[in-house]
C-alpha cells in the first residue's frame, strides 16, 4: 500500500512541477507572480474534458492529442493575456500586478462556471491505462506511472531547451540581467511573451494530464495554486531544480500523509515549508557580516 501511494505521490509531484516550473519561469523573467496560473491549469483540464470525446475516445493517442491541443489553446490564451494586459504593468507596483492577476482568476472562474456549470465533471481515462502493473504481489495502477513518465519526458525536454539551445541561453540571460539582454539587441518583449506562452502551456498540460485522475470543477484553480506556491517556496521561486525537488517532496508527503494522517496531510506540507523558511533565515543570519 505504501508503494502504491508512493507512485501516486510521484505522479502528483510531477504534475505540481509542471505547474510550478511555469510559475517560476514567468517570475524569473518578468518578475510577476502570476496568481492566474492555477486558472490555466483548470482550463487545460476542462478543455481536455471537451476534446477527449471528440478525438478517438478511449484510445491512448487520442488522449494525449487532446491534452496537447488543450495545452496549446491555454498557451494561446496566455499570450493574449500577456500582450494585452500584463505588458502594460511590467515594472509597476506589485499591488497593481496582484490586482490584475487576481482579477483574471475571478473572470476565468466565472466564465468556466457559466460554461460548464458548478458540478464536477470527469474525464475518460484511456482504456490502455486502466489496468495495473504487477510486481510480485503488488498492483501498481498504470495511469499514475504513465503520467509520471510523460512528465519526466517534458522535464528532460525543458532542461535541454533551457541549457542547450540559443533560446534557453537568452532565457537565462533575461533572468539574470534583463537590461544587458536589451543592450545586446534582443527583443525583450518577445522573450516575455515566449516565457508566458511556455508557462501557460505547462500549466495547461498539467491540467490535461491529471484530469482523468480526479474530478474537474471550477474551484480547481484555487486548490492547485496553493500547492504550486508551496512548491515554489520550498524550492525557491526562480529555481527550476528547486521546483522539481519541492514538487516531489510535496507530492510524496501528501500521498503518504493521507495514509497515516488523513486530516493532517496538508499540515505536514505546511510544516515542511515552515522548516525550509526557518532554515533559510538561520542560514542568512549565520552568514558573514558585511
**12 vs 53, 80, 161, 198, CA distance in Å?**
24, 29, 24, 20
- The Cα 23–Cα 52 span in angstroms is 26
pLDDT above 60 (res 287) = no
- Supply the DSSP symbol for 160: H
Residue 205: name the closest of 249, 157, 166, 251 by CA. 157
Per-domain boundaries in the chain: 2-285
Interval 215-233 mean pLDDT:
90
Q: Are 22 and 207 in contact (CB under 8 A)?
A: no
Q: Model confidence over 118-143: pLDDT tens digits?
A: 999 999 999 998 888 888 778 888 99
What grid cell was written down for 89?
504593468
Topology of domain 2-285 in CATH is: ABC transporter involved in vitamin B12 uptake, BtuC (1.10.3470)
Whole-number percent of the chain with pLDDT over 70: 95
Roughly how many angstroms between the first and final C-alpha of the chain, as a whole number?
A: 52
Q: Are 75 and 198 in contact (CB under 8 A)?
A: yes
Q: Model confidence over 192-205: pLDDT tens digits?
A: 899 999 999 999 99
How would you label 98-114 residue by residue, b for 16+ Cβ within 10 Å and e otherwise?
eebbeebbeebbeebee
For the ranges 107-121, 167-181, 237-251, the lowest mean pLDDT is seen at 167-181
pLDDT above 60 (res 286) = no
Output the pTM of the full model.
0.90
Q: Model confidence over 248-272: pLDDT tens digits?
A: 999 999 888 888 887 777 888 889 8
Contacts (Cβ under 8 Å, ≥6 apart) of 220: 38, 41, 42, 45, 207
Q: Model confidence over 268-285: pLDDT tens digits?
A: 888 989 998 888 887 665
pLDDT at residue 289, as a whole number: 40
Amino acid at each position: 500500500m505504501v508503494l502504491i501511494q508512493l507512485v501516486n505521490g510521484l505522479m502528483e509531484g510531477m504534475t505540481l512541477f509542471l505547474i510550478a516550473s511555469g510559475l517560476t519561469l514567468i517570475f524569473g523573467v518578468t518578475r510577476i507572480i502570476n496568481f492566474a496560473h492555477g486558472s490555466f491549469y483548470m482550463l487545460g483540464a476542462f478543455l481536455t474534458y471537451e476534446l477527449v470525446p471528440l478525438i478517438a475516445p478511449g484510445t491512448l493517442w487520442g488522449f494525449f492529442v487532446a491534452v496537447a491541443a488543450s495545452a496549446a489553446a491555454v498557451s494561446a490564451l496566455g499570450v493574449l493575456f500577456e500582450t494585452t494586459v500584463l505588458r502594460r504593468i511590467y515594472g509597476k507596483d506589485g499591488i497593481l500586478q496582484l490586482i490584475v492577476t487576481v482579477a483574471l482568476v475571478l473572470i476565468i472562474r466565472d466564465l468556466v462556471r457559466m460554461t460548464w456549470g458548478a458540478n464536477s465533471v470527469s474525464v475518460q481515462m484511456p482504456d490502455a491505462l486502466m489496468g495495473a502493473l504487477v510486481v510480485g504481489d503488488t498492483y501498481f495502477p498504470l495511469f499514475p506511472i504513465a503520467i509520471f513518465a510523460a512528465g519526466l519526458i517534458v522535464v528532460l525536454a525543458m532542461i535541454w531547451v533551457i541549457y542547450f539551445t540559443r533560446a534557453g541561453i537568452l532565457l537565462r540571460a533575461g533572468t539574470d540581467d534583463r537590461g544587458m539582454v536589451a543592450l545586446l539587441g534582443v527583443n525583450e518583449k518577445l522573450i516575455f511573451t515566449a516565457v508566458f506562452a511556455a508557462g501557460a502551456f505547462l500549466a495547461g498540460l498539467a491540467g490535461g494530464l491529471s484530469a482523468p485522475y480526479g474530478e474537474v470543477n471550477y474551484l480547481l484553480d484555487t486548490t492547485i495554486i496553493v500547492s504550486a506556491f508551496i512548491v515554489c517556496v520550498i524550492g525557491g521561486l526562480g529555481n527550476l531544480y528547486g521546483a522539481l525537488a519541492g514538487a516531489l517532496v510535496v507530492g510524496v508527503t501528501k500521498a503518504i500523509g493521507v495514509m497515516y494522517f488523513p486530516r493532517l496531510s496538508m499540515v505536514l506540507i505546511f510544516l515542511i515549508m515552515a522548516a525550509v523558511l526557518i532554515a533559510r533565515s538561520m542560514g542568512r543570519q549565520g552568514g558573514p557580516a558585511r
